[in-house]
């Protein structure tokens, strides 16, 4: 039996942390779909054509060490607006979503485009300022030389690009449960997500 949980939201809202915790709680497989675009973006920084990179992507590419850098994040956002790139990655994501035993996918268009029939949909969000502070602390902790002002500018730039793109813009699915993590601890955010999904499973 398959059960798909789609978790969408902007950068640094906490969807990755929540998705991993939800997958562990329900013992479902987890896919960070953003890594697919980051892996493609990383290859374009080396001069590879983005469409070619997407079509030739293999699971091992998701294990590269450089996928969490700011440069790769921006490259991922740029390639994500390319319709042929998104199309090349759709089958990979949909096959994962319907695997036996249940699956959690997090990204930006899971509930709206990739898995519109997912049994549970969440949209995890937070204010741009809160998200920028989280991302700054993450990058600063890795020793990367960035300012909080620059990180906030990057977050707003990426939001504008993700929400404004013609192909699969970032937005909540009509039936998604909204989880605003701006004023929540990680534990409270995870508990809220698990409660919402449990109710959806019981009503399925």
Give binding residues for ATP as ranges. 9-17
Structure tokens that stand for 194 in this block: 């698990």
- From the number of C-beta atoms within 10 Å of its C-beta (0-12, 13-18, 19+), residue 98 rates as middle
| CA 104, 154, 62, 89 torsion-angle sign | positive
Binding residues: 9-17
Q: Name the phi and psi angles at 177, rounded to 5.
A: -85, 125
- From the number of C-beta atoms within 10 Å of its C-beta (0-12, 13-18, 19+), residue 149 rates as exposed
| CA 54, 60, 66, 67 torsion-angle sign | positive
Helix ranges restricted to H, the chain: 15-26, 34-45, 50-55, 70-79, 83-97, 128-141, 148-164, 186-203
């Amino acid at each position: 039996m398959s059960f798909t949980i789609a978790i969408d939201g902007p950068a640094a809202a906490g969807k990755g942390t929540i998705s991993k915790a939800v997958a562990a709680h329900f013992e479902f497989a987890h896919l960070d779909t953003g890594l697919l675009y980051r892996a493609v973006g990383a290859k374009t920084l080396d001069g590879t054509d983005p469409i070619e990179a997407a079509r030739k992507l293999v699971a091992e590419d998701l294990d590269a060490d450089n996928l969490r850098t700011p440069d790769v994040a921006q490259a991922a956002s740029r390639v994500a607006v390319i319709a042929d790139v998104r199309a090349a990655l759709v089958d990979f994501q949909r096959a994962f979503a319907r695997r036996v035993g249940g699956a959690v996918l997090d990204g930006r268009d899971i509930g709206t485009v990739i898995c519109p029939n997912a049994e549970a949909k969440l949209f995890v969000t937070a204010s741009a300022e809160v998200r920028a502070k989280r991302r700054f602390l993450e990058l600063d902790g890795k020793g990367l030389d960035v300012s909080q002002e620059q990180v906030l500018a990057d977050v707003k730039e990426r939001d504008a690009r993700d929400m404004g793109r013609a192909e699969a813009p970032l937005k909540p699915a009509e039936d998604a449960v909204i989880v605003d993590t701006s004023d929540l601890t990680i534990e409270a955010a995870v508990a809220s997500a698990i409660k919402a999904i449990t109710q959806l499973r019981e009503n399925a």
